[in-house]
Structure 1
Amino acid sequence: MNVTVRPARADDAEDQQWLQAAYDADWEGPTMALDGRLHDLLGLPTLVAEDDGQLCGYLVYEERADATELYAMAAHPRGLGTGRRLLRAFLAQADRPVVLVTTNDNVAALAFYQQHGFRITSVRTGAVDRSRTVKPEIPQVGDHGIPLHDELVLEWRPRS
């Protein structure tokens, strides 16, 4: 496996088509709902992972005044270390706190991010329920048969 990470190219049809298909598969489209608000992944800064010229992962983020928010990350296929490479490349360039949100059922993500230095900073009780009002296709039950209701906020801080 020869995975490299680079910025996605907005003017590259292959990048954009692959990302659209990945967003459709992972999020039922390029729109993500967090705490009842919609966020369009298209047009946000994105890193992509390539394995021998084939796209195999992405990480979407947005620079804010106080932190960088990581909105979405996925690898296709999973379990080969692509997500780890994407996150490490992303954090290596980070010069301010990185914030991300995951749902209460996503125990694999909680373990993964905590292994990379993220800490849980808050729980948004009922946030997924609020998000269903703007994105009704969010399922009622998530991974491991866990009812989806809450969001967990995690933060990573660069070493000083």
Structure 2
Amino acid sequence: MELSRTHHPIQVIRPQREADRRWLLDLWNREWGGETMVSRGRVYRLEDVEAVIAVQGGAYVGAATFVVLDEECELLSLNSLVEGIGVGTRLLQAVEDAAQQAGVPRVTLITSNDNLKAMRFYQRRGYRFHAVHVGAIDEARKRKPSIPRLGLDGIPLHDEIEMRKVW
């Protein structure tokens, strides 16, 4: 089914079917370069994390993965496959809701130093810069060689930008 800006409502679901899990794994492979995610020096596999999927008119239109730790929820990935219709916002809200239900006081995320669009997206939704981890992507690349050296707009990938939203 073709992804579009149809007027079908966006539903956010938890993956329950095998088809959901296969689609998420394919998304991670395609968008994140493999079956693992490296964040803040930790390696995560899809089976280690929680996820939400956005569906519109029967088609997958996005997903977010996250982990709830002791005092925070870490957003590991957020992919919106259709821009401008609220997919990313709906997914982010679902992660924030899960964090609040778990009783943690904040959501933390990492983005790469080249991802200016993501930094704008998160700031508009109440996230603030918390830290810059200089050279963290260079270190992560040692564990996950599929991480490219050049990112968006030809910007060299080196640093992780940590953002937080606290309530």
TM-score normalized by the length of structure 2:
0.87
Q: Alignment identity in percent?
A: 34
1:55 equivalent to 2:60? Answer yes
The corresponding residue for 1:7 is 14
Return the match for 1:23 from 7, 28, 44: 28
Instruction: Measure the CA separation in 1 of the matches of 2:41 and 2:69.
Output: 19
Structure 1: how far apart are the matches of 2:27 and 2:98?
A: 24
Which ranges in structure 2 are unaligned for 5 or more consecutive residues?
A: 1-6
Between structures 1 and 2, the one with greater helix share = 2
How many residue pairs are counted as aligned between the two chains?
A: 156
Residue 88 (structure 2) aligns with: 83
CA shift, 1:92, in A, is 3.5
Gaps of 5+ in 1: none
Q: What is aligned with 2:137?
A: 128
Greater relative CO, 1 or 2 (CA 8 Å, sep 6+) = 1
Are residues 1:74 and 2:79 paired?
A: yes
In 1, Cα distance between equivalents of 2:42 and 2:94: 28
Pairing 1:133-152 to 2, within 5 Å after superposition: 133-152=142-161
Q: Give me the whole-angstrom Cα distance separating, in 2, the residues matched to 1:80 and 1:142.
A: 25
* Equivalent residue, structure 2, for 1:34: 39
Structure 2 match to 1:112:
121
Cα-Cα RMSD:
1.4
Distance 1:76 1:131, change over 3 A: same
* CA shift for structure 1 position 36: 4.1
Whole-Å separation in 1 of the counterparts to 2:21 and 2:97: 25
Give the distance between the partners of 1:153 and 1:18, measured in 2 at CA. 27
- Give CA-to-partner distance per residue, 1:56-115, whole Å, 9 cap, x none: 111111111111111111022344321111112322443221011010000011000111
For 2:130, give the aligned amino acid. Answer: T
Given that residues 66 and 95 in structure 2 are in contact (C-alpha distance below 8 angstroms), is that contact kept between their aligned partners in structure 1? no
Q: Secondary structure at the match of 1:154?
A: strand
